[in-house]
Amino acid sequence: MEEMKGIANGNIDGTDIRNFMAYRGAIVAKEFRSIGSCQCEFHTSMDIETIILTIVKGERREIKFGVKVLHKFDNGRDEVSVCLDFDEIEELIQALHFIAKTAAEIISTERDYTEVVYATKDNATFGFYQDANKQTAFFCLSPRKTGFLSFDTLGEVSKILHAARTHLVNHGAQVSYK
């Protein structure tokens, strides 16, 4: 299928998924599927959904694949979310493994403050920090809300992301090898 430059404005920063969801002047079909959820600290949760977007304009058609990560709060009303393009999913899985491995390697060393962070195209961050007292994993999907989770839960997030990626591949997402 020919690359359809211009069907969604590629000049906007961030993910293709986010840009396509906001596209106007064409038919946009949005398919969401809940893949999994995990409990975080302080009565919050992280939910992961797959997204398959189909944009049709005239005879042109383009499909984009990705995931939506949601941080839900105890009150049931508030949540923040971020989208990841399909190519970012494997990068995030690998980053989470690196983060967990690095945390395990340095936990017994004395540190004033160390932070290891991965940032997505839409500026969501996943990482951990270690100070003189403790080591804590975190994620931030919005500048105003930070979520905290155990390192075991970080492993659960990786598994859910892997399941989401598998679902998208089974529905036509193309794996590119770099």
State how far the Cα of 18 lies from the Cα of 51, in Å rounded to an integer.
Answer: 10
pLDDT digits (tens, 9 = 90+) for 54-81: 988 888 899 999 999 999 988 666 788 9
pLDDT on residue 21:
65
Asked if 137 contacts 128 with a C-beta cutoff of 8 angstroms, the reply is yes
Q: For residue 4, what pLDDT is reported?
A: 43
d(Cα 141, Cα 120) in Å, to the nearest integer?
A: 10
* Domain 16-170 in this protein, CATH class: mainly beta
pLDDT value of residue 9: 46
pLDDT, residue 86, reads 96
Place of tokens 């969801």: 21
Rg value, the chain, Cα = 18
What pTM does this model have?
0.84
Identify the segments of the chain with pLDDT beneath 70. Answer: 1-13, 20-23, 75-77, 177-178
CA-CA distance, 47 to 107, in Å (whole number)?
28
CA-to-CA distance for 124 and 140, rounded, in angstroms? 6
Residues listed for the chain: 178
The Cα–Cα gap between 72 and 162 comes to 21
pLDDT value at residue 178: 57
Strands 45-57 and 27-39: antiparallel
pLDDT at 23: 65
Helices (H), 4-53: 16-21
Task: Identify the pLDDT of residue 73.
Answer: 85
Contact 15, 83 (CB under 8 A): yes
What pLDDT does 176 receive? Answer: 74
